[in-house]
Copies of this chain bind each other. A is one copy, B any other.
Amino acid sequence: MGEALLSSMLTEILIPICAVVGIVYALIQWFVVSRVKVVPGYSNGSNNGTNSKNGFTEYLIEEEDGGNDHSVVTKCADIQNAISEGATSFLFTEYQYMGVFMVGFAVIIFLFLGSVEKFSLKDQPCTYNKELMCKPALANAAFSTVAFVLGSLTSVLSGYLGMKIATYANARTTLEARKGVGKAFITAFRSGAVMGFLLSANGLLVLYISINLFKLYYGDDWEGLFEAITGYGLGGSSMALFGRVGGGIYTKAADVGADLVGKVERNIPEDDPRNPAVIADNVGDNVGDIAGMGSDLFGSYAESSCAALVVASISSFGTSHDFTAMCFPLLISSMGIIVCLITTSFATDIFEIKAVKEIEPALKKQLIISTVLMTVGIAVVSFVALPSSFTIFNFGEQKVVKNWHLFFCVAVGLWAGLVIGFVTEYYTSNAYSPVQDVADSCRTGAATNVIFGLALGYKSVIIPIFAIAISIFVSFSLAAMYGIAVAALGMLSTMATGLAIDAYGPISDNAGGIAEMAGMSHRIRERTDALDAAGNTTAAIGKGFAIGSAALVSLALFGAFVSRAAIATVDVLTPKVFIGLIVGAMLPYWFSAMTMKSVGSAALKMVEEVRRQFNTIPGLMEGTAKPDYATCVKISTDASLREMIPPGCLVMLTPLIVGTFFGVETLSGVLAGALVSGVQVAISASNTGGAWDNAKKYIEAGASEHARTLGPKGSDCHKAAVIGDTIGDPLKDTSGPSLNILIKLMAVESLVFAPFFATHGGLLFKL
């Protein structure tokens, strides 16, 4: 017992220490990015220091192509400011909507859960081994509501910080590109790491503090505590919904609008400053791909932790108050931060990028190193923190689990994530035959390009689904629903690295945009393009991770919901469940139809505005007049805020309506259906879009004999490829990634409202 106490104290200290280390590490990286100095040898040795514009340390370096020009630095700073202001202003407008939603939904949570009096699972067919919900309903409702608000705020903060660092780093990356591709890479990657570590450490810290605060009231009632804490996951995910959907519509409306007029009609290059939608496009990268994705992964993390904790609370170490074992999910995440920290230092301090072709391998090495190290880390945590054998409660049945079982569960999730990542890469990188085949199909025009791209997306689903199925099977067989929950955590344990790589992409994309807009030389643009191309592939890998973990998380939440709602079986052969299943499988289509149509309509508006400006502003094409960037930003902002409401309602209201009127069985069917169908739609949409994007880049780059027969830019082949790329934009950046949220959010919402549905639900059948 003394040993147990020591271990428990260690746990108490270890988790916050890891979280704080993560945050400090992120701040150090930020500091390094902000202080990048001109390196002797490249530069004239002197540094003008702080007499900067908008906090910019001016870079004065000698280069053959006028890089030493003060005006270039000023231009970059100006553009960065424009992007940053656009992004900030959008986010603050979005936050007003989110705020209203948060308050409204907090009231709903409080009222619904507050109305559940004396709900004890003891009366239900599922047998747990102690009295549940012994606290008054109003108290539970209040704590759930507080957790919801905390989750919401942390999620918003995560997205905001990510956006801030990204818009802080993009122009710096551009300027560093003058010194070489390695310097630019390290700046972009470091900035990505800031986001990765801030997010994962913040999430862990807030969760840890919340648990400890809630514990003051709940004491040893773990089940009550973790029921309440699931509100944290719901808060995180519901904010992510707005971030992903709103941000996704914003970025793609701007992108599609800019491309359709700029590239297709006016034949001006991407990111040309004459294009009125160019600032909106660059803002979009930050609010959609950075802030949206940050919120999404934070949501996944928060939800899988909550799911694991809820299931853990009804296991034997939960009922025997073994705090260390209870904290196993948090310990995995803590270990993840340390592992990622070591991994990141490989990229920032050990390996140095010297050539363009080293970038993609370097990023991939990050994934492999973190996975290998994390496997060791999981072993340590599993054997140290867990009792060698304990009991898991699984829908009324007991299951004896060994600590090495749990090690395998976490590890299988972790490695499944890597497999999904690399399969995604295979199908979306133009280094491999699938994308090259798609590029080749452009010979016969846009139609065959689209047919081949869609077929590629469909095909790319196969291996990830088998990986997910195997993870589910292994982890469930070893440790029931708890196994699945920790497998999801395993996949997310290297999130800091994953996010760093993910965020690196849009930062590089922005850096390229700034180089183009600042009129920097072709060489600089080539370097940022190389960074961007690698970022495209890793962004696809990140999306693969996100959807894979979303699938596991949803299943874990689903399991927790079923436990909580006291459903013994979810039998497909009962009509209640089957209609739920088929309607649930339809929801991803409904949702995608909404988001894609939104992007389409918003892009049409953008096209009209850009055309109007080109037609009515004299001297715009000649570059003598400035376009009206602000109107385009406003169109994207208004469209995304207006258009995110219907899909948001679909996701938030479906569980409430189905649970209240049709009851928990039908709701279980809906969750299972949405999960198994949504995963396929999300993976195929993301990969189809990624493949089209890189097929286009393959033709543009013309790096191989084959690629040169398809090009050059402006050829019929290239035009066909651009059409594919444009179609892929909403698929890969709006509807595909938003589906993660759809399946997770419905599951966590069902879990939070489970006590209400179990007691008051199924009104229609009670009539």
Interface residues of A (CB under 8 A from B): 256, 260, 264, 395, 441, 444-448, 450-452, 454-459, 461-462, 465-466, 468-470, 472-473, 476-477, 551, 555, 559, 562, 569-573, 575-579, 581-586, 589-590, 592-594, 596-597, 599-600, 603-604, 607, 668-669, 672-673, 675-677, 679-680, 684, 723, 726-727, 730-731
Q: Are A459's CB and B581's CB within 8 A?
A: no
A472 CA to B472 CA, complexed, in Å: 30
Q: Are A465's CB and B582's CB within 8 A?
A: yes
Least distance between A451 CB and chain B CB atoms (Å): 5
Q: Are B459's CB and A590's CB within 8 A?
A: yes
Q: Are B592's CB and A676's CB within 8 A?
A: no
Instruction: Using CB atoms, name the residue of chain B closest to A567.
Output: B573
Least distance between A51 CB and chain B CB atoms (Å): 47
Instruction: Using CB atoms, name the residue of chain B closest to A724.
Output: B447
Q: Are A445's CB and B260's CB within 8 A?
A: yes
- Which secondary structure dominates where chain A touches chain B? helix
Given A445-B723, A455-B596, A583 contacting B677 (CB threshold 8 A): no
Question: What are 19 A-B interface contacts by the 8 Å CB criterion?
Answer: A395-B573, A444-B604, A447-B723, A448-B726, A459-B589, A459-B590, A461-B590, A461-B593, A462-B589, A466-B583, A469-B582, A472-B579, A572-B572, A582-B679, A585-B585, A585-B677, A586-B680, A589-B680, A676-B677
Instruction: Using CB atoms, name the residue of chain B closest to A448.
Output: B600
Set of chain B residues within 8 Å of A572, measured between Cβ atoms: 570-572, 577, 668-669, 672
Q: Are A593's CB and B459's CB within 8 A?
A: yes
Set of chain B residues within 8 Å of A573, measured between Cβ atoms: 395, 559, 562, 569-570
Q: Are B260's CB and A448's CB within 8 A?
A: yes
Q: Are A582's CB and B472's CB within 8 A?
A: yes
Q: Are A592's CB and B458's CB within 8 A?
A: yes
A441 CA to B599 CA, complexed, in Å: 12
Which residue, A395, A477, A571, A577, has most C-beta atoms of chain B within 10 A? A571
A689 CA to B450 CA, complexed, in Å: 13
Q: Are A455's CB and B592's CB within 8 A?
A: yes
Q: Are A476's CB and B575's CB within 8 A?
A: yes
Least distance between A286 CB and chain B CB atoms (Å): 23
Q: Are A600's CB and B455's CB within 8 A?
A: yes
* Minimum-distance CB pairs A-B, first 6: A458-B593, A447-B726, A476-B575, A459-B593, A585-B676, A455-B596
Set of chain B residues within 8 Å of A454, measured between Cβ atoms: 596, 727, 731
Instruction: Using CB atoms, name the residue of chain B closest to A440.
Output: B604
Q: Are A676's CB and B465's CB within 8 A?
A: no
Q: Are A458's CB and B673's CB within 8 A?
A: no
Q: Are B677's CB and A590's CB within 8 A?
A: no
From B395, B470, B596, B684, contact of A458 by CB (8 A): B596
A472 CA to B447 CA, complexed, in Å: 38
Least distance between A397 CB and chain B CB atoms (Å): 11
Instruction: Using CB atoms, name the residue of chain B closest to A476.
Output: B575
Q: Are A589's CB and B468's CB within 8 A?
A: no
Least distance between A695 CB and chain B CB atoms (Å): 14
Least distance between A147 CB and chain B CB atoms (Å): 26
Given A472-B578, A573-B570, A677-B676, A590 contacting B458 (CB threshold 8 A): yes
